[in-house]
Amino acid sequence: MKAGQWQKTLGLGLHGRVLGVFGYGNIGKLVANYGRAFGMQVLIWGREGSLSRAQADGFAVASSQEDLFSQADVLSLHVKMVPETRGIVKASDLARMKPTALFVNTSRAALIEPGALEEALRAGRPGNAAVDVYEVEPLTASPLLQMDNVVCTPHLGYVEKDCYEVYFDAAFDNLVAFTAGNPLNIVNPQTLTRN
């Protein structure tokens, strides 16, 4: 509005739409509950253990990854980035999405097969995307920035005061525990026994 613009298109209501949540960890669970609060039909896909938790929480579980992508009106990606999940979202998954669907990635760019999202958006399936994470950050040049059907944000998902306070508190607690001889959250404990 500051630039003199006003809406020119119709929005998409959420009530009754299908929210696909790929990855039912802490963030995926929160997103699923937000969808429920908006009256969306929530459909979950992820690891076997997380699917059991989703069902226990009253959410429907997709029969497959393909089913999740084909049914979702909005698909939100919340998979942890580990070597096994790199490229877990394929071009074929995106091609299954509705032309009216919105694909949201606030997780990690490397979860999507390289070039697959740009190709899918050009083909119109999904019709839209919202992206907060990129292979190279800060993002200076990307086809996504030139696409009218994409909203790009500068990795704002974790840049908030409360998150930084949690990170720094945890780092401080770990340092204090280590110096007291009671190390916490050790990723490589074998290094503690070296002289």
Instruction: Name the helix (H) or strand (E) containing 29.
Output: helix 26-37
Same domain? For 145 and 187 the reply is: no
Same domain? For 171 and 147 the reply is: no
Residue 106 lies in a domain: yes
pLDDT digits (tens, 9 = 90+) for 81-139: 999 999 999 999 999 999 999 999 999 999 999 999 999 999 999 999 999 999 988 88
Instruction: Name the helix (H) or strand (E) containing 54.
Output: helix 48-56
Same domain? For 176 and 107 the reply is: no
Q: What is the reported pTM? A: 0.82
The confidence band for 185, taking pLDDT boundaries of 50, 70 and 90, is confident
Residue 2 lies in a domain: no
**Catalytically annotated residue among 36, 47, 53, 155:** 155
Same domain? For 148 and 169 the reply is: no
For the beta sheet containing 18-22, the strands, ordered from the edge strand earlier in sequence to the opposite edge, are 60-61, 41-45, 18-22, 74-77, 102-105, 128-131, 150-152
* Polymer length in residues for the chain: 195
Active site residue 96: no
Structural domain boundaries, residue 130: 18-152
The confidence band for 16, taking pLDDT boundaries of 50, 70 and 90, is very high
Same domain? For 22 and 87 the reply is: yes
pLDDT at 159: 63
Residue 6 lies in a domain: no
In sequence order, the β-bridge partners of residue 150 are: 129
Instruction: Name the helix (H) or strand (E) containing 105.
Output: strand 102-105
Q: In whole angstroms, how large is the CA radius of gyration of the chain?
A: 20
pLDDT at 192 over 70: yes
pLDDT at 165: 76
pLDDT at 164 over 70: no
**Catalytically annotated residue among 17, 96, 108, 125:** 108
pLDDT at 8: 84
Active site residue 137: yes
pLDDT digits (tens, 9 = 90+) for 34-78: 999 999 999 999 999 999 999 999 999 999 999 999 999 999 999
Number of domain units in the chain: 2
Residue 9 lies in a domain: no
User: Domain holding 41: CATH number?
Assistant: 3.40.50.720
Same domain? For 137 and 174 the reply is: no
